[in-house]
Amino acid sequence: MYQVVRARLCALAGGVGTALRRRAARQGLRRNDAGMVTSEYAMGIVAAVAFAVVLYKVVTSGAVSAELQGIVKGALDARM
């Protein structure tokens, strides 16, 4: 008895899911995004690393480094 009820419920659930998938495909609501998430993460990581490299080069350049040292020295020498 249990197996019969279970089989009927599975058939019913599968039928409903299949009908919904068919309707979504007909209406163009379903997209195939297989593999897109991984490539998006990879592109985000590449962009973040590129930004970090550019930022590092700017901060370690001579003019910016001298300005930052001047700001720090001025803040440490400030008196109230």
pLDDT score of 46: 94
Question: Of 61 and 4, which is predicted with more confidence?
Answer: 61
- Which residues constitute the domain of residue 15? 1-31
Dihedral sign of CA atoms 46, 47, 52, 57 in order:
positive
Mean pLDDT of 31-37: 63
For residues 2 and 25, membership in a common domain is answered with yes
Distance CA 73, CA 47 (A): 34
Distance CA 38, CA 32 (A): 14
Distant-in-sequence, close-in-space partners of 24: CB < 8 Å, separation ≥ 6: 30
pLDDT score of 14: 61
For residues 72 and 42, membership in a common domain is answered with yes
Q: What is the mean pLDDT of the chain?
A: 77
- The answer to whether the CB of 21 falls within 8 A of the CB of 30 is yes
Distance CA 1, CA 59 (A): 74
For residues 47 and 69, membership in a common domain is answered with yes
- The predicted model scores a pTM of 0.43
